Structure 1
């Protein structure tokens, strides 16, 4: 069986994820497609991940793609997580993942409405949605609180988990907006505040038309294998949130070929992707929390030394800001209150690598400017560095 080494996997990562200087691009859309999807749970991570891969980093370039051209869109999709994908890929992501997520969100909310016992049902929800869409069409983009001020139904409160120890009274606005966004009927527009803010304004949108999930899953698997292969079935299952049967069906649909990885496990690549790639120039990167290059596999042993995990992950398995050298995670970084990037190396990498990391930190500091970044998921090392 054909073998693909960990070294080759790191070379592919540097080139295909556009992290090596010679692989960087001027287009945020090219960045998103290179990694398939950008994690967007943290608003700042979208900008940090993208700018780390741009030939000329800048907030305005990313904002233009998100809010003016709308060539990048946010979707609640894989693993019920918010991602940013290209407009061209969005219908595939919707059909393969996001539509099922939206249906689950609707079912769950309707159960909460029924349990509240005040006669709120699917008819009430449909009417609340229509009022919301009408208000947005007349006066958007607006924030959720501004919408609630004009749409009385969004000011409704319900009791969730009645009779339980964790019973609570909640407003419905965020749930209604979440469902509409998951179904593609509204989208997140420019936030209130800076690019690091998650207080998005909302505007109307047209739902994506794709119907059959199987071809969409095959297309998503094809793109993922190009960017992340070789990888295991477990890696694709984890990344997509699909069942094992769906993973195997998608791999068969794209004609994926089995290869052997360094640790002996079987991996998969696209049928025309077996040849070794030439080495890249050495490269350094400071990547944000939840960056796709750190979160793309269930097993990250080929680029993440096991001893580094405790410092770089929170208790839920979210990775924090990472320092990279030539395809491996070698440390973590943070931003101090005065704006200075500070990092700690967890691997001995030598002077050349340290100088390259210093240059990346200087570049990061310049384009970030006066913005202050605190990851939503705090990790031990990031907390220590900012203390």
Structure 2
């Protein structure tokens, strides 16, 4: 019954629910546009591997051309959104989510560059920057240098970052395409997509989308995912149409009544999860899939989030695809503890699947556990 208390969910139950919604218990036959939309985008600041590998883990029969075609046809774009980081999203989400997350980006700008931008007419800067990037896509280095021509006392890098936060700048191809290189050049979403920004969706709608892909979840989880606050009030307002649970610490969890919540003992296949995957970045308490003891080994001090080996629904190691541009691909798997033979064989099969995706040639290496 909507609004009812469904009892306590332990980490294993929460993990299975998350994996089911992430298409990591069973791969989907849906196309990449549908999966990107369902997930609310894939984090994509490290070009080009994370979005491609993230979809490969989730979609049967996925090929690089399927996503490249979406990007080149402007049905998917890379833009700063959740947490102020670059995400690959559908064109529709780009146009609607950016206005909703604009306050977050402006807050980050004030926090990081406020002193260097003090006293500057930011409205005038935004107008000038828009004219420049809509004339021709520009890298931040070039944009900052051109904005500094009329502001010689200002830091060009800070000026470029101001433009990034004030304007909905998308990265244009070939940046981010599998097998292609290119500078991170930007223009506005409106110019690239040929449409104006859409009205921001209500927070209620965004909360429901989050629960569909990441629930059951707390208000703090929602804030961790997107960077915006105020979710306790939103979830409280939605509560009559939701089902409520508690975790083992007594925290209130909310979920959609009909969302999948598999039995905690449901088998979870071995998977290779992409670097920077939102599976690991979208909850305040990540222990449903990431044991705390392993968190520092996957999330490094310099902000890198390594590719993760999932065994029985939990991170059990890291992995890396190397060799781009050389033709000599390799997948290196680094288990954090010894793997059972069946799990090692499954990890090898997943790694060979990655190699086939990358080009069909290469080797799989296992480092010693530990």
- Quickly name the TM-score band, shorter chain normalised: 0.7 to 0.9
**TM superposition shift of 1:50:** 1.6
1:359 maps to 349
Q: Secondary structure at the match of 2:280?
A: helix
Q: Secondary structure at the match of 2:172?
A: strand
Q: 1-side partners of 2:182 and 2:277: how far apart?
A: 17
CA contact (8 A) 2:42 2:277 kept: yes
TM-score, scaled to structure 1: 0.75
1:100 maps to 103
Q: Secondary structure at the match of 2:357?
A: helix
**TM superposition shift of 1:309:** 2.1
1:84 aligns with 2:73: no
Match of 1:67 among 53, 69, 72: 72
1:32 maps to 36
**TM superposition shift of 1:314:** 0.8
Cα deviations across residues 122-162 of structure 1 (Å, max 9, x unaligned)? Answer: 475255235315523xxxxx44289769x9547666445xx
Cα deviations across residues 273-330 of structure 1 (Å, max 9, x unaligned)? Answer: 4865597554121122210112121211122222222322212565311101232111
Q: 1-side partners of 2:231 and 2:35: how far apart?
A: 25
* Superposition pairs of residues 220-231 of structure 1, within 5 angstroms: 220-231=206-217
The 1:146/1:80 distance shift into structure 2, 3 A limit, reads closer
Match of 2:225 among 236, 239, 242: 239
1:208 aligns with 2:197: yes
The 10-residue stretch of structure 1 (99-108 or 327-336) with the greater mean CA deviation from structure 2 = 99-108
Instruction: Please tell me the root mean square deviation across aligned C-alpha atoms, in Å.
Output: 3.6
The 1:344/1:106 distance shift into structure 2, 3 A limit, reads closer
Unaligned runs of 5+ in 1: 137-141, 161-168, 373-381
Cα deviations across residues 256-285 of structure 1 (Å, max 9, x unaligned)? Answer: 443122454332212444865597554121
1:344 maps to 334
1:188 aligns with 2:171: yes
1:10 aligns with 2:12: no
CA contact (8 A) 1:129 1:176 kept: no
1:128 maps to 128
CA contact (8 A) 2:219 2:231 kept: yes
Q: 1-side partners of 2:97 and 2:177: how far apart?
A: 28
1:19 maps to 24
CA contact (8 A) 2:23 2:58 kept: yes
CA contact (8 A) 1:18 1:34 kept: no
CA contact (8 A) 2:117 2:158 kept: no
CA contact (8 A) 1:157 1:172 kept: no
* Superposition pairs of residues 300-319 of structure 1, within 5 angstroms: 300-315=286-301, 318-319=304-305
1:139 maps to none
CA contact (8 A) 1:91 1:209 kept: yes
Q: 2-side partners of 1:331 and 1:239: how far apart?
A: 23
Unaligned runs of 5+ in 2: none
**TM superposition shift of 1:67:** 2.4
The 1:303/1:113 distance shift into structure 2, 3 A limit, reads closer
Match of 1:368 among 349, 358, 370: 358
* Superposition pairs of residues 291-302 of structure 1, within 5 angstroms: 291-302=277-288
Q: Secondary structure at the match of 2:58?
A: coil
2:271 maps to 285
1:329 maps to 315
Match of 1:170 among 152, 156, 161: 156
The 1:254/1:91 distance shift into structure 2, 3 A limit, reads farther
**TM superposition shift of 1:78:** 2.1
Match of 1:252 among 218, 236, 246: 236
